[in-house]
Amino acid sequence: MPVAPNKAEIVRELVQYIVDFVEQPHPKLGNLPVCPFARRARLENRIRFEVLELTCEAVLALVPSFAVRPELQLMICIHPRKEGVSAAEVYRLAEALNQALQSMNLMAVGLHPEDPFNIDGLYTRREPYPNIQLIRREVVDWAHQRIKDSGYYDRWTESNFRDCLFSQEDIMSVAPDYDEIVREYGRYIIEFVEQPHPNLGNLPVCPFARKARLENRVQFEVLELTRERILALVPKFAANPELHMMICIHPHKDGLSSAKIYRLVELLNQTLPALNLSALGGHPDDPFNIDGLYTRREPYPNIQLLRLDVGERAHQSIKDSGYYDRWTESNFRDTTASPPVRLRP
Protein backbone atom coordinates (compact mmCIF):
# COMPACT_ATOMS: atom_id res chain seq x y z
CA MET A 1 0.00 0.00 0.00
CA PRO A 2 1.60 3.34 -1.01
CA VAL A 3 2.51 5.76 1.74
CA ALA A 4 0.61 9.04 1.63
CA PRO A 5 2.96 11.97 1.07
CA ASN A 6 3.82 14.10 4.08
CA LYS A 7 2.76 17.51 2.77
CA ALA A 8 4.32 19.46 5.62
CA GLU A 9 7.67 17.74 5.04
CA ILE A 10 7.48 18.46 1.30
CA VAL A 11 6.93 22.16 2.00
CA ARG A 12 9.79 22.19 4.55
CA GLU A 13 12.14 20.63 1.99
CA LEU A 14 11.24 23.21 -0.64
CA VAL A 15 11.60 26.08 1.85
CA GLN A 16 15.03 24.77 2.83
CA TYR A 17 16.00 24.73 -0.86
CA ILE A 18 14.85 28.35 -1.13
CA VAL A 19 16.96 29.36 1.86
CA ASP A 20 20.04 27.35 0.83
CA PHE A 21 20.02 28.15 -2.90
CA VAL A 22 17.43 30.65 -4.13
CA GLU A 23 18.29 33.27 -1.50
CA GLN A 24 22.05 32.94 -1.97
CA PRO A 25 24.12 35.30 -4.19
CA HIS A 26 25.91 33.96 -7.25
CA PRO A 27 28.60 35.55 -9.48
CA LYS A 28 26.70 34.54 -12.65
CA LEU A 29 23.86 36.78 -11.54
CA GLY A 30 25.85 39.90 -10.77
CA ASN A 31 26.51 38.60 -7.24
CA LEU A 32 22.80 38.91 -6.49
CA PRO A 33 20.75 35.99 -5.14
CA VAL A 34 19.09 33.61 -7.60
CA CYS A 35 15.91 35.46 -6.64
CA PRO A 36 16.85 38.80 -5.06
CA PHE A 37 13.38 39.12 -3.51
CA ALA A 38 12.86 35.60 -2.16
CA ARG A 39 14.12 36.17 1.38
CA ARG A 40 11.92 39.19 2.02
CA ALA A 41 8.88 37.47 0.52
CA ARG A 42 9.50 34.40 2.71
CA LEU A 43 10.00 36.39 5.91
CA GLU A 44 6.92 38.53 5.25
CA ASN A 45 4.78 35.44 4.52
CA ARG A 46 4.02 36.55 0.97
CA ILE A 47 4.39 33.03 -0.45
CA ARG A 48 1.64 30.43 -0.29
CA PHE A 49 2.49 26.73 -0.64
CA GLU A 50 0.04 24.07 -1.86
CA VAL A 51 0.81 20.35 -2.33
CA LEU A 52 -1.41 18.71 -4.95
CA GLU A 53 -1.48 16.61 -8.08
CA LEU A 54 -0.46 19.01 -10.84
CA THR A 55 -3.25 19.35 -13.38
CA CYS A 56 -4.55 22.43 -15.15
CA GLU A 57 -7.93 22.09 -13.44
CA ALA A 58 -6.47 21.64 -9.95
CA VAL A 59 -4.17 24.68 -10.24
CA LEU A 60 -6.87 26.91 -11.75
CA ALA A 61 -9.20 25.95 -8.89
CA LEU A 62 -6.77 27.67 -6.51
CA VAL A 63 -6.59 30.92 -8.46
CA PRO A 64 -9.63 32.67 -6.90
CA SER A 65 -8.35 32.17 -3.35
CA PHE A 66 -4.94 33.53 -4.43
CA ALA A 67 -6.38 36.50 -6.33
CA VAL A 68 -8.37 37.80 -3.34
CA ARG A 69 -5.27 38.00 -1.13
CA PRO A 70 -3.26 40.91 -2.57
CA GLU A 71 -0.62 40.57 0.15
CA LEU A 72 0.48 37.29 -1.48
CA GLN A 73 3.01 37.65 -4.28
CA LEU A 74 3.52 34.02 -5.19
CA MET A 75 1.73 30.69 -4.91
CA ILE A 76 3.84 27.55 -5.33
CA CYS A 77 1.86 24.44 -6.30
CA ILE A 78 4.04 21.40 -5.53
CA HIS A 79 3.59 17.91 -6.93
CA PRO A 80 3.70 15.41 -4.04
CA ARG A 81 6.27 13.11 -5.69
CA LYS A 82 9.67 14.03 -7.10
CA GLU A 83 9.28 11.62 -10.01
CA GLY A 84 5.58 12.30 -10.54
CA VAL A 85 5.74 14.31 -13.78
CA SER A 86 8.45 15.03 -16.35
CA ALA A 87 10.01 18.43 -16.99
CA ALA A 88 8.32 18.47 -20.42
CA GLU A 89 4.93 17.86 -18.81
CA VAL A 90 5.49 20.71 -16.36
CA TYR A 91 6.43 23.01 -19.24
CA ARG A 92 3.28 22.05 -21.16
CA LEU A 93 1.17 22.61 -18.06
CA ALA A 94 2.67 26.09 -17.55
CA GLU A 95 1.91 26.90 -21.19
CA ALA A 96 -1.73 25.80 -20.85
CA LEU A 97 -2.12 27.76 -17.63
CA ASN A 98 -0.71 30.93 -19.16
CA GLN A 99 -3.36 30.79 -21.86
CA ALA A 100 -6.03 30.73 -19.16
CA LEU A 101 -4.38 33.31 -16.87
CA GLN A 102 -3.79 36.13 -19.36
CA SER A 103 -6.97 38.00 -18.42
CA MET A 104 -6.24 37.64 -14.68
CA ASN A 105 -2.88 39.47 -14.65
CA LEU A 106 -1.17 36.27 -13.49
CA MET A 107 1.56 34.13 -15.02
CA ALA A 108 2.61 30.53 -14.44
CA VAL A 109 6.20 29.26 -14.35
CA GLY A 110 7.08 25.57 -14.28
CA LEU A 111 10.08 24.12 -12.40
CA HIS A 112 11.42 20.57 -12.11
CA PRO A 113 14.33 18.56 -10.60
CA GLU A 114 15.61 18.00 -14.15
CA ASP A 115 14.77 21.42 -15.55
CA PRO A 116 17.19 22.28 -18.39
CA PHE A 117 16.95 26.06 -17.92
CA ASN A 118 20.31 27.55 -16.94
CA ILE A 119 22.19 30.83 -16.87
CA ASP A 120 25.67 30.09 -18.21
CA GLY A 121 25.57 26.65 -16.58
CA LEU A 122 23.78 27.71 -13.39
CA TYR A 123 20.59 25.65 -13.17
CA THR A 124 18.27 28.04 -11.36
CA ARG A 125 15.08 25.97 -11.70
CA ARG A 126 16.18 22.51 -10.58
CA GLU A 127 13.93 22.37 -7.54
CA PRO A 128 13.35 19.36 -5.24
CA TYR A 129 9.84 18.68 -6.56
CA PRO A 130 8.02 19.44 -9.81
CA ASN A 131 6.02 22.59 -9.22
CA ILE A 132 4.04 25.38 -10.82
CA GLN A 133 4.49 28.90 -9.51
CA LEU A 134 1.77 31.51 -9.97
CA ILE A 135 2.93 35.10 -9.74
CA ARG A 136 1.26 38.45 -10.28
CA ARG A 137 2.50 40.14 -13.45
CA GLU A 138 2.90 43.52 -11.76
CA VAL A 139 5.18 41.88 -9.17
CA VAL A 140 7.36 40.59 -12.02
CA ASP A 141 7.44 44.07 -13.60
CA TRP A 142 8.27 45.67 -10.26
CA ALA A 143 11.07 43.17 -9.56
CA HIS A 144 12.69 43.50 -12.98
CA GLN A 145 12.58 47.29 -12.82
CA ARG A 146 14.69 47.22 -9.66
CA ILE A 147 17.42 44.88 -10.90
CA LYS A 148 17.61 45.62 -14.63
CA ASP A 149 20.76 47.78 -14.24
CA SER A 150 22.37 45.67 -11.51
CA GLY A 151 24.29 43.14 -13.62
CA TYR A 152 21.77 40.40 -12.83
CA TYR A 153 20.96 39.88 -16.52
CA ASP A 154 24.48 40.29 -17.93
CA ARG A 155 24.90 36.58 -18.71
CA TRP A 156 21.34 35.94 -19.86
CA THR A 157 20.87 34.93 -23.48
CA GLU A 158 17.89 35.73 -25.70
CA SER A 159 16.86 32.11 -25.20
CA ASN A 160 16.82 32.65 -21.43
CA PHE A 161 14.53 35.64 -21.83
CA ARG A 162 12.19 33.73 -24.15
CA ASP A 163 11.97 30.83 -21.72
CA CYS A 164 10.83 33.26 -19.02
CA LEU A 165 7.93 34.46 -21.21
CA PHE A 166 9.33 37.94 -21.80
CA SER A 167 11.84 39.50 -24.17
CA GLN A 168 15.08 41.25 -23.34
CA GLU A 169 13.46 44.49 -24.51
CA ASP A 170 10.63 43.99 -22.02
CA ILE A 171 13.11 43.80 -19.18
CA MET A 172 15.59 46.45 -20.19
CA SER A 173 13.29 49.09 -21.65
CA VAL A 174 9.58 49.15 -21.07
CA ALA A 175 8.78 47.76 -17.63
CA PRO A 176 6.92 50.55 -15.85
CA ASP A 177 8.61 52.17 -12.87
CA TYR A 178 5.88 51.95 -10.25
CA ASP A 179 7.67 54.21 -7.78
CA GLU A 180 8.03 56.94 -10.43
CA ILE A 181 4.35 56.60 -11.33
CA VAL A 182 3.39 57.24 -7.70
CA ARG A 183 5.86 60.15 -7.47
CA GLU A 184 4.39 61.73 -10.60
CA TYR A 185 0.89 61.33 -9.25
CA GLY A 186 2.01 62.81 -5.91
CA ARG A 187 3.42 65.89 -7.69
CA TYR A 188 0.12 66.33 -9.54
CA ILE A 189 -1.75 66.30 -6.20
CA ILE A 190 0.56 68.93 -4.69
CA GLU A 191 0.74 71.18 -7.76
CA PHE A 192 -2.95 71.04 -8.77
CA VAL A 193 -5.29 69.21 -6.40
CA GLU A 194 -4.06 71.05 -3.29
CA GLN A 195 -4.12 74.50 -4.94
CA PRO A 196 -7.04 76.97 -4.54
CA HIS A 197 -9.06 78.03 -7.58
CA PRO A 198 -11.66 80.80 -8.08
CA ASN A 199 -14.04 78.36 -9.81
CA LEU A 200 -14.29 76.56 -6.46
CA GLY A 201 -14.84 79.48 -4.11
CA ASN A 202 -11.06 79.97 -3.83
CA LEU A 203 -10.78 76.63 -2.10
CA PRO A 204 -8.39 73.92 -3.32
CA VAL A 205 -9.60 71.44 -5.92
CA CYS A 206 -9.73 69.05 -2.96
CA PRO A 207 -9.82 71.04 0.30
CA PHE A 208 -8.78 67.94 2.24
CA ALA A 209 -6.00 66.55 0.05
CA ARG A 210 -3.03 68.22 1.76
CA LYS A 211 -4.01 67.09 5.26
CA ALA A 212 -4.73 63.55 4.03
CA ARG A 213 -1.35 63.42 2.27
CA LEU A 214 0.63 64.73 5.24
CA GLU A 215 -1.13 62.36 7.63
CA ASN A 216 -0.51 59.36 5.30
CA ARG A 217 -4.21 58.69 4.90
CA VAL A 218 -3.96 57.94 1.18
CA GLN A 219 -2.61 54.62 -0.12
CA PHE A 220 -1.39 54.19 -3.70
CA GLU A 221 -1.50 50.93 -5.66
CA VAL A 222 -0.22 50.53 -9.23
CA LEU A 223 -1.93 47.70 -11.10
CA GLU A 224 -3.87 46.72 -14.20
CA LEU A 225 -7.35 48.11 -13.59
CA THR A 226 -10.04 45.44 -13.65
CA ARG A 227 -13.08 45.01 -11.45
CA GLU A 228 -11.72 41.77 -9.98
CA ARG A 229 -8.29 43.19 -9.20
CA ILE A 230 -9.67 46.30 -7.51
CA LEU A 231 -12.20 44.34 -5.45
CA ALA A 232 -9.34 42.08 -4.34
CA LEU A 233 -7.77 45.14 -2.68
CA VAL A 234 -10.91 46.11 -0.74
CA PRO A 235 -10.18 43.89 2.31
CA LYS A 236 -6.70 45.44 2.57
CA PHE A 237 -8.21 48.94 2.49
CA ALA A 238 -11.06 48.08 4.85
CA ALA A 239 -8.62 46.63 7.39
CA ASN A 240 -6.84 50.00 7.71
CA PRO A 241 -9.43 52.43 9.16
CA GLU A 242 -6.85 55.23 9.33
CA LEU A 243 -6.85 55.32 5.52
CA HIS A 244 -9.38 57.63 3.88
CA MET A 245 -8.67 56.74 0.27
CA MET A 246 -6.95 54.15 -1.88
CA ILE A 247 -5.88 55.30 -5.35
CA CYS A 248 -5.47 52.44 -7.85
CA ILE A 249 -3.33 53.68 -10.75
CA HIS A 250 -3.08 52.04 -14.16
CA PRO A 251 0.63 51.68 -15.10
CA HIS A 252 0.21 53.08 -18.63
CA LYS A 253 -1.16 56.52 -19.48
CA ASP A 254 -2.74 55.25 -22.69
CA GLY A 255 -3.76 51.87 -21.32
CA LEU A 256 -7.49 52.56 -20.80
CA SER A 257 -9.92 55.06 -22.31
CA SER A 258 -11.90 57.51 -20.22
CA ALA A 259 -15.09 55.68 -21.22
CA LYS A 260 -13.68 52.38 -19.87
CA ILE A 261 -12.81 54.07 -16.57
CA TYR A 262 -16.38 55.37 -16.30
CA ARG A 263 -17.79 51.89 -16.99
CA LEU A 264 -15.47 50.37 -14.40
CA VAL A 265 -16.58 52.93 -11.81
CA GLU A 266 -20.20 52.07 -12.56
CA LEU A 267 -19.55 48.34 -12.11
CA LEU A 268 -17.67 48.84 -8.85
CA ASN A 269 -20.38 51.05 -7.40
CA GLN A 270 -22.86 48.24 -7.79
CA THR A 271 -20.94 46.42 -5.05
CA LEU A 272 -19.08 48.95 -2.92
CA PRO A 273 -21.77 51.08 -1.20
CA ALA A 274 -22.80 48.09 0.93
CA LEU A 275 -19.21 48.16 2.26
CA ASN A 276 -19.34 51.93 3.04
CA LEU A 277 -17.17 52.58 -0.01
CA SER A 278 -17.52 54.42 -3.29
CA ALA A 279 -15.42 54.30 -6.46
CA LEU A 280 -14.38 57.43 -8.35
CA GLY A 281 -12.49 57.66 -11.62
CA GLY A 282 -9.80 59.90 -13.08
CA HIS A 283 -8.24 59.97 -16.56
CA PRO A 284 -5.90 62.19 -18.63
CA ASP A 285 -8.81 62.83 -21.05
CA ASP A 286 -11.64 63.06 -18.51
CA PRO A 287 -14.30 65.51 -19.80
CA PHE A 288 -15.64 66.45 -16.34
CA ASN A 289 -15.17 70.16 -15.59
CA ILE A 290 -16.42 72.90 -13.31
CA ASP A 291 -17.02 75.92 -15.54
CA GLY A 292 -14.01 74.98 -17.68
CA LEU A 293 -11.79 73.72 -14.83
CA TYR A 294 -10.94 70.07 -15.60
CA THR A 295 -10.57 68.67 -12.11
CA ARG A 296 -10.21 65.00 -13.07
CA ARG A 297 -7.59 65.15 -15.83
CA GLU A 298 -5.04 63.15 -13.93
CA PRO A 299 -1.64 61.84 -15.12
CA TYR A 300 -2.76 58.20 -15.31
CA PRO A 301 -6.10 56.39 -15.56
CA ASN A 302 -7.09 55.55 -12.01
CA ILE A 303 -9.83 54.37 -9.70
CA GLN A 304 -10.15 55.90 -6.25
CA LEU A 305 -11.79 54.06 -3.39
CA LEU A 306 -13.24 56.39 -0.77
CA ARG A 307 -15.07 55.69 2.47
CA LEU A 308 -18.60 57.04 2.14
CA ASP A 309 -18.70 58.44 5.67
CA VAL A 310 -15.46 60.36 5.04
CA GLY A 311 -16.88 61.80 1.84
CA GLU A 312 -20.12 62.82 3.54
CA ARG A 313 -18.27 64.60 6.37
CA ALA A 314 -16.15 66.40 3.80
CA HIS A 315 -19.23 67.55 1.86
CA GLN A 316 -21.00 68.79 4.99
CA SER A 317 -17.98 70.83 6.05
CA ILE A 318 -17.80 72.81 2.78
CA LYS A 319 -21.38 72.87 1.47
CA ASP A 320 -21.90 76.51 2.55
CA SER A 321 -18.43 77.72 1.61
CA GLY A 322 -18.97 78.71 -2.01
CA TYR A 323 -17.17 75.60 -3.25
CA TYR A 324 -20.24 74.40 -5.14
CA ASP A 325 -21.46 77.77 -6.46
CA ARG A 326 -20.44 77.07 -10.08
CA TRP A 327 -21.45 73.42 -10.12
CA THR A 328 -24.22 72.45 -12.51
CA GLU A 329 -26.82 69.74 -12.03
CA SER A 330 -24.79 67.69 -14.51
CA ASN A 331 -21.69 68.08 -12.33
CA PHE A 332 -23.57 66.74 -9.32
CA ARG A 333 -24.90 63.78 -11.29
CA ASP A 334 -21.42 62.95 -12.56
CA THR A 335 -20.05 62.64 -9.02
CA THR A 336 -22.19 59.45 -8.57
CA ALA A 337 -24.26 61.03 -5.80
CA SER A 338 -26.09 64.26 -5.02
CA PRO A 339 -25.13 65.89 -2.79
CA PRO A 340 -21.60 64.75 -3.69
CA VAL A 341 -19.79 62.41 -1.37
CA ARG A 342 -16.24 62.82 -2.63
CA LEU A 343 -13.15 64.53 -1.35
CA ARG A 344 -12.77 66.39 -4.62
CA PRO A 345 -14.75 66.95 -7.78
- CB burial string 253-282: b at 16+ within 10 A, e below: beebebeebbebbeebeeebeeeebbbbbb
pLDDT of residue 344: 45
Burial group, residue 84, by CB count within 10 angstroms (0-12, 13-18, 19+): middle
pLDDT of residue 257: 87
CA distances from residue 18 to 62, 127, 143, 242, 249 in whole angstroms, order as listed? 22, 9, 17, 36, 33
The larger pLDDT score, comparing residue 272 to residue 336, is at 272
Q: Are 151 and 157 in contact (CB under 8 A)?
A: no
Q: Of 198, 119, 212, 200, which Cα lies nearest the Cα of 164?
A: 119
CA distances from residue 207 to 171, 213, 343 in whole angstroms, order as listed? 41, 12, 7
Is the predicted pLDDT of residue 265 greater than 80, yes or no? yes
Determine the average pLDDT of the residues in 244-250: 94
CA distances from residue 48 to 11, 13, 55, 101 in whole angstroms, order as listed? 10, 15, 18, 18
Is the predicted pLDDT of residue 4 greater than 70, yes or no? no
Identity (one letter) of the amino acid at 229? R
Output the pTM of the full model: 0.55
The larger pLDDT score, comparing residue 161 to residue 113, is at 113
293, β-bridge pairs: 290
Is the predicted pLDDT of residue 337 greater than 50, yes or no? no
**Cβ–Cβ contacts within 10 Å for residue 178, how many?**
19
Determine the average pLDDT of the residues in 310-337: 86
Determine the average pLDDT of the residues in 80-86: 89
249 Cα distance to chain centroid: 9
Indicate the pLDDT class of residue 174, thresholds 50, 70 and 90: very low
pLDDT of residue 210: 94
- CB burial string 222-249: b at 16+ within 10 A, e below: bbbbbeebbbbbbeebeeeeebbbbbbb
Q: Are 308 and 334 in contact (CB under 8 A)?
A: no
Indicate the pLDDT class of residue 168, thresholds 50, 70 and 90: very low
pLDDT of residue 248: 95
Summarize pLDDT for 182-227 with one digit per residue, the tens. 999 999 999 999 999 999 999 999 999 999 999 999 999 998 899 9
Indicate the pLDDT class of residue 175, thresholds 50, 70 and 90: low
Determine the average pLDDT of the residues in 111-125: 93
* 3-state secondary structure at position 261: helix
The residue extents of the domains of the chain are: 7-174, 178-334
Determine the average pLDDT of the residues in 143-148: 85
Q: Are 147 and 177 in contact (CB under 8 A)?
A: no
Identity (one letter) of the amino acid at 68? V
Is the predicted pLDDT of residue 135 greater than 70, yes or no? yes
Query: Mean pLDDT across the chain, nearest whole number?
Result: 88
pLDDT of residue 184: 94
Is the predicted pLDDT of residue 341 greater than 60, yes or no? no
- What does the DSSP 8-state code read for residue 21? I
Identity (one letter) of the amino acid at 128? P
Pairwise CA distance, residues 255 & 249, whole Å: 11
